Amino acid sequence: MYLADEAWPDLGTYFEAESLAIVPLGSTEQHGPHLPEGTDHLIAEALAREAAERTGYLCTPTINIGVSPHHRQFHGTMWVDAPVFRDYVESFSRNLAYHGIDRIVYVNAHGGNVEHLREVGRRLHDDETAYAIEWMWDESIPDLVDEAFEHNGPHGGPKETAMLMHIARELVHEDRMTDARDGGRVELGADELREHGARTFYDAVENSPNGVFGDQTDATPEIGAELFGAASDQLVKLCEWLAAQPFADLMPDPHVD
């Protein structure tokens, strides 16, 4: 069920029977010369809508702009400051709680949102408003992602390219995938990003001239369909698990005597 498509009396029926909502979140930011700036929110929404369709749980409209200042040097990248993002998502979530939602799955497809969504989840958990958890599609199927690509890359790489080729192939500039690889950075070792234990960069452009990593030419729509199906399965299982938990068991434990 997609909230924005429903009339309010029908939503009332949902809230009487269920207490879980799926909230897709992403970003609007550069993803190299070959992918649209909406890559992250397109992936998040597609997965959230698929899970909602399969389970009957409520999917909200997508939060399209996230915490992306580390991509700001590239044309068109949009972002909000981290405190603003946290406050917005928290307010949005408390809105859902007002209608009877007490458990939320943040279907997130942007790494820059992770720590902030976890902080929002902690706030809602601490005051026992709701149990809200952050979920990243690629982290739900790490072995499959690793097996699919020799050079994966954390941003704009073959995993996101393959997913977009499956979800919205018409938005992928397939004729630019070689340029994306050759103009970006294929290998990205953890040791290269640190000096004497300190992280030495802030922005993506400091590590990749065109903003992306990995070998995009390894991506295919067939691999994208496999990744999408496997991640959707994990999201469905997560929603079903969360919905089955007694609310009291999800809330904070009492103070130790």
Number of other residues whose CB lies within 10 A of the CB of residue 200? 11
Reported as a single tens digit per residue, the pLDDT across 119-146 is 999 999 999 999 999 999 999 999 999 9
Structure-token pair, residue 252: 């904070």
Does the pLDDT of residue 192 top 90, yes or no?
Answer: no
pTM, two decimals, is 0.96
Reported as a single tens digit per residue, the pLDDT across 39-84 is 999 999 999 999 999 999 999 999 999 999 999 999 999 999 999 9
pLDDT of residue 182: 97
Domains of the chain, with CATH numbers? 3-250 (3.40.50.10310)
Whether residue 186 contacts residue 213, with contact meaning beta carbons closer than 8 Å, is answered with yes
* Beta strand segments in 78-229, E: 103-108, 131-136, 194-195, 198-199
Reported as a single tens digit per residue, the pLDDT across 110-122 is 999 999 999 999 9
Q: Mean pLDDT over residues 168-180, rounded?
A: 98
pLDDT of residue 190: 66
